[in-house]
Amino acid sequence: MTNPVPFRLNDANALRLLREIAADSARVVLLTHAKQRMRQRQITLAQVLDVMRKGRVAEPATVDIHGNWKLTVRGVSCGQEISVAGAIDMNDEPGKRVFVITVFGSD
């Protein structure tokens, strides 16, 4: 059996993969910092998932020091503009989960 060719990193592929992952909330991992910022900024998990599923790329996709695809998406949820910074896990099981790094809204 041949090894599958990984997606090429670009905004369109990263956004498509992020939306696919966010369709199953069990595959979304909130880091401690993101949870703190959500509480501080009164942003719910439902809003974060909504932005991940329907938002647009706010900062271009890049590869972080761990080899994961990192990007920031922005969208409107419940009348509030929200940005979600996340990293798509490309190591153990590529494209299996996303780590939400931080969340912020427009004040």
Q: What is the C-alpha separation between 28 and 26, in angstroms, rounded?
A: 6
Q: What is the C-alpha separation between 12 and 7, in angstroms, rounded?
A: 10
Residue 107 pLDDT: 62
The per-residue pLDDT of the chain, averaged, comes to 90
Q: What is the DSSP letter of 94?
A: T
What is the value of pTM for the model shown?
A: 0.88
Task: Read off the pLDDT of residues 5-50 as tens digits, 9 standing for 90 and up.
Answer: 456 789 999 999 999 999 999 999 999 999 999 999 999 999 999 9
Interacting residues of 6 by C-beta distance below 8 A, sequence separation 6+: 90, 94
User: Phi and psi of 49, rounded to 5°?
Assistant: -65, -40
Chain centroid, CA 9 distance in Å: 14
Domains and CATH numbers, the chain: 11-105 (3.30.2310.40)
